[in-house]
Structures are given as structure tokens and as C-alpha cells.
């Protein structure tokens, strides 16, 4: 059961990384980053439970504190302060970036 949860959280992290490529709004990108970090923290926590490694509990807590709470808080403050809630320009269009990322994932698994 725990192995399934670890694989699920890893798959969700990968899915959110690909979803972030299709986001062109800064606030949405920060929220996706925050959610991806939650899945990463949960994955580290469950690996710590399986392996009974106390260091992984600490790593999961610090990851959650820094990547889920602190970094998004400061990023939202910066976006609000400089009034930058707009669409950001992309180097590649969404279709090409999604296709390229899927090809990289397929290449990484083979």
C-alpha cells in the first residue's frame, strides 16, 4: 500500500511538472509548484515510513516548510508588490513544450 502511495505521489509530481509547462500565468505557476512540493514531501515521508529513517522525516518536514510555505509566500508577495499577475511570454508554444517534455520522460524511462 505504501509503495503504491509513493509511486502515486511520484506520478503526480511528474504530472504537475508537465502541467506547469502549460501554465502561462505566474500565480498559477506558483500554485502548481506548491502542490508539486506537497506531493514531493508526502513521497519523502512515506519512503521514511517504509525505511524507518529518521532523516527522511526531517527532510520531509523541511521540504514542506521551505517549498510549500516559505517560497510560495515570498513569491506571491513579490508578484503582488510588483503587480505582475499577467501572462508570461514563453520561448516555445505550449504544444511544442508539452511534446518535448513527454519525449524526455519517455526517453528517461527507456
Query: In this predicted model, what pLDDT tens digit does every residue of 69-108 receive, in sequence order?
Result: 999 999 999 988 887 766 666 677 777 888 888 888 888 8
Number of separate domains in the chain: 1
Asked if residues 39 and 13 have their Cβ atoms less than 8 Å apart, the reply is yes
SS3 89: coil
Domain span at residue 50 reads 2-109
Q: What was the pLDDT predicted at 17? A: 85
Whether the model pTM is above 0.85: no
* Residue 33 predicted with pLDDT over 90: yes
| Residue 110 to residue 108: CA distance in whole angstroms | 6
Is 110 exposed, middle or buried, given 0-12, 13-18 or 19+ CB atoms closer than 10 A? exposed
- Mean of per-residue pLDDT scores for the chain: 86
**Residues constituting the chain:** 110
Amino acid at each position: 500500500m505504501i509503495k503504491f502511495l509513493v509511486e502515486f505521489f511520484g506520478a503526480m509530481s511528474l504530472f504537475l511538472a508537465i502541467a506547469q509547462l502549460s501554465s502561462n500565468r505566474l500565480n498559477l505557476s506558483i500554485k502548481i509548484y506548491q502542490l508539486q512540493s506537497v506531493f514531493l514531501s508526502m513521497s519523502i515521508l512515506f519512503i521514511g515510513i517504509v525505511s524507518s529513517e529518521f532523516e527522511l522525516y526531517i527532510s520531509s518536514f523541511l521540504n514542506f516548510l521551505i517549498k510549500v510555505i516559505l517560497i510560495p509566500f515570498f513569491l506571491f508577495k513579490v508578484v503582488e508588490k510588483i503587480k505582475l499577475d499577467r501572462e508570461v511570454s514563453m520561448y516555445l508554444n505550449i504544444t511544442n513544450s508539452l511534446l518535448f517534455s513527454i519525449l524526455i520522460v519517455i526517453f528517461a524511462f527507456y
